[in-house]
Structure 1
Amino acid sequence: MGKTKIYDTAIKQERAVLVSVITQHTTDEKAHEYLEELAFLVETAGGVVDKIFTQKLTLPDKATFIGSGKLEDVKAYIIAESIDMVVFDDELSPSQLRNIEKEFQIKVLDRSNLILDIFAKHAQTAQAKTQVELAQLQYLLPRLTRMWTHLERQRGGIGMRGPGESQIESDRRMILNKVSLLKERLKAIDKQNETQRKSRGELIRVALVGYTNVGKSTIMNMISKSDVLIEDKLFATLDTTVRKVVIDNLPFLLSDTVGFIRKLPHHLVECFKSTLDEVREADVLIHVVDISHPNFEDHIVAVNDTLEELKALDKPVITVFNKIDLYKAPVSENEEGEEIKVTLKDFENSWMAKNADPALFISATNKENLEEFKVKLYEIIVKLHNERYPYSNLLY
Structure 2
Amino acid sequence: MEPHDRSVDRLKGRRGGAAETRRPPARALVVLPVVRGAGDGEGPETRTAEGRLAEAAGLAEAVNVAVLGRILVPLRKTVPATLMGSGKVEEIAALVRIHDAELVVVDHPVTPVQQRNLEKAWSAKVLDRTGLILEIFGDRAHTKEGRLQVELAHLNYQKSRLVRSWTHLERQRGGFGFLGGPGETQIEADRRVIQTRIRAIEKELASVRNMRQVHRAKRKSVPQPVLALVGYTNAGKSTLFNRLTGADVLAKHMLFATLDPTLRRVKLPHGEEVIVSDTVGFISELPTTLVAAFRATLEEVIEADVILHVRDIAAPETEAQAADVVAVLRELGVDPEAPGRIIEVWNKIDQLNPEASEALKRKADGAEPKAVPVSATTGEGVDDLLATIEAVLLGSRLTVTLDLTPEQAGQAPWLYENAEVLDRSTDAGSGATRLVVRIPEKRMKSFQDWLRRTGAAASVRSG
Band the TM-score falls in, shorter-chain normalisation: 0.7 to 0.9
- Residue equivalent to 1:395: 421
Does residue 104 of structure 2 align to residue 86 of structure 1? Answer: yes
- Tell me, yes or no, if the aligned pair for 2:53 and 2:72 is still in contact at 8 Å: no
- Tell me, yes or no, if the aligned pair for 1:38 and 1:89 is still in contact at 8 Å: yes
Query: Mind listing any 5+ residue stretches in structure 2 that lack a counterpart?
Result: 1-18, 42-46, 171-186, 403-413, 423-463
Q: Which moved more, 1:360-369 or 1:239-248?
A: 239-248
**Residue 342 of structure 2 aligns to which amino acid in structure 1?**
V
Does residue 283 of structure 2 align to residue 258 of structure 1? Answer: no
Q: How does 1:152-301 map to 2 (within 5 A)?
A: 171-200=190-219, 201-202=221-222, 203-247=224-268, 248-301=270-323
Take 2:197 and 2:304, find their aligned partners in 1: how far apart are those partners? 32
Take 1:8 and 1:225, find their aligned partners in 2: how far apart are those partners? 33
- 3-state DSSP of counterpart to 1:232: coil
- Tell me, yes or no, if the aligned pair for 2:33 and 2:73 is still in contact at 8 Å: yes
Q: Would the alpha carbon gap of residues 46 and 146 (structure 1) be closer, same or farther in structure 2, given more than 3 Å must change?
A: farther
Take 1:132 and 1:384, find their aligned partners in 2: how far apart are those partners? 37
- Tell me, yes or no, if the aligned pair for 2:345 and 2:371 is still in contact at 8 Å: yes
- Residue equivalent to 1:16: 28
**Residue 210 of structure 1 aligns to which amino acid in structure 2?**
G
1:28-81 per-position Cα deviation (integer Å, ceiling 9, x unaligned): 662211111111111111211111222211222111111100100111111222
- Tell me, yes or no, if the aligned pair for 1:318 and 1:359 is still in contact at 8 Å: yes
TM-score (norm 2): 0.73
**Residue 264 of structure 2 aligns to which amino acid in structure 1?**
R
1:118-145 per-position Cα deviation (integer Å, ceiling 9, x unaligned): 1011111221111100011011111115
- Residue equivalent to 1:164: none
- Residue equivalent to 2:373: 361
Does residue 365 of structure 2 align to residue 343 of structure 1? Answer: no
- Tell me, yes or no, if the aligned pair for 1:204 and 1:384 is still in contact at 8 Å: no
Q: Would the alpha carbon gap of residues 8 and 357 (structure 1) be closer, same or farther in structure 2, given more than 3 Å must change?
A: closer
Take 1:386 and 1:91, find their aligned partners in 2: how far apart are those partners? 50
Percent of matched pairs sharing the same residue? 36
Q: Would the alpha carbon gap of residues 9 and 363 (structure 1) be closer, same or farther in structure 2, given more than 3 Å must change?
A: closer
- Tell me, yes or no, if the aligned pair for 2:68 and 2:99 is still in contact at 8 Å: no
RMSD of equivalent CA atoms: 2.7
Q: How does 1:100-119 map to 2 (within 5 A)?
A: 100-119=118-137
Q: Would the alpha carbon gap of residues 385 and 246 (structure 1) be closer, same or farther in structure 2, given more than 3 Å must change?
A: farther
**Residue 183 of structure 1 aligns to which amino acid in structure 2?**
E
**Residue 359 of structure 2 aligns to which amino acid in structure 1?**
D
- 3-state DSSP of counterpart to 2:52: helix
TM-score (norm 1): 0.85
- 3-state DSSP of counterpart to 1:395: strand
Query: Mind listing any 5+ residue stretches in structure 1 that lack a counterpart?
Result: 1-6, 153-167, 330-341
State which structure, 1 or 2, has the greater radius of gyration over its C-alpha atoms.
Answer: 2
**Residue 62 of structure 2 aligns to which amino acid in structure 1?**
T
* Total equivalences in the alignment: 363
- 3-state DSSP of counterpart to 1:234: coil
- 3-state DSSP of counterpart to 2:23: coil
Take 2:217 and 2:20, find their aligned partners in 1: how far apart are those partners? 53
- Residue equivalent to 2:3: none
- Tell me, yes or no, if the aligned pair for 2:105 and 2:127 is still in contact at 8 Å: yes
- Residue equivalent to 2:352: 327
- Tell me, yes or no, if the aligned pair for 2:266 and 2:276 is still in contact at 8 Å: yes
- Residue equivalent to 2:457: none
**Residue 360 of structure 1 aligns to which amino acid in structure 2?**
V
Take 1:387 and 1:253, find their aligned partners in 2: how far apart are those partners? 23
Does residue 333 of structure 2 align to residue 311 of structure 1? Answer: yes
**Residue 228 of structure 2 aligns to which amino acid in structure 1?**
A
Take 1:278 and 1:243, find their aligned partners in 2: how far apart are those partners? 13
Does residue 86 of structure 2 align to residue 68 of structure 1? Answer: yes
Q: Would the alpha carbon gap of residues 106 and 389 (structure 1) be closer, same or farther in structure 2, given more than 3 Å must change?
A: farther
